Amino acid sequence: MMAMKKKEKPPRDQLKPGEVLCAYCEGKCCRYFALPIDSPTSRKDFEYIRWYLLHERATIFTEDEDWYLLVHTKCKHLLEDNRCGAYDTRPRICRDYSTDNCEYEDEWCYERYFETAEQVHEYTEAVLQKPGQDIRSPQPADLPIIA
């Protein structure tokens, strides 16, 4: 089977009138979903976030100080050409989605992005430190002198 040739991706502002942005995209918006979660304020809240990240294909990010659980999973209707296989019957959330602010340009950057439970633990220790508590790792012991 012959591999599909990938179209060159023009900048958004160089698309011709009537040209569809999605024709050049990899369908990023159909390869994950993100749900808002309560902003963590206590150790218990951060423990829930750590638990989320113990599951495959889950990450956490913040945007405009709002926290989100991001699940990296492809929509079952996404076709090989990155088009929607259920376009005429797609859910309301897909119908309401606009390409005006989508991730087409590949320049997306999150304020905070956590991929592992360990990252959340370190962050928790830093933001919930007690007054006077040093958040740095203890200095390691001197190496022995070898004669």
> What does the domain layout of the chain look like in residue ranges?
25-101+109-126
Q: What order of strands is seen across the sheet that includes strand 58-63? A: 33-37, 66-71, 58-63, 112-114
Instruction: Give the C-alpha separation, 104 to 21, whole Å.
Output: 8
Mean of the pLDDT values across residues 59-79? Answer: 96
pLDDT tens digits along 104-147: 887 778 899 999 999 999 999 999 877 666 656 677 888 888 87
Mean of the pLDDT values across residues 61-71? Answer: 96
Question: How far are the Cα atoms of 30, 58, 64, 83, 87 from residue 90, in angstroms, in the given order?
Answer: 12, 24, 29, 12, 5
Neighbouring-strand partners of residue 37: 67
Q: What pLDDT score does 147 carry?
A: 73
Q: What pLDDT score does 32 carry?
A: 95
CA 105 to chain centre: 15
Q: What pLDDT score does 136 carry?
A: 62
pLDDT tens digits along 12-51: 889 888 888 888 888 999 999 999 999 999 999 999 999 9
Q: What pLDDT score does 107 carry?
A: 75
Q: What is the dihedral of CA 7, 12, 13, 19, to 10 degrees?
A: 60
Instruction: Give the C-alpha separation, 32 to 117, whole Å.
Output: 20
CB 109 within 8 A of CB 103: no
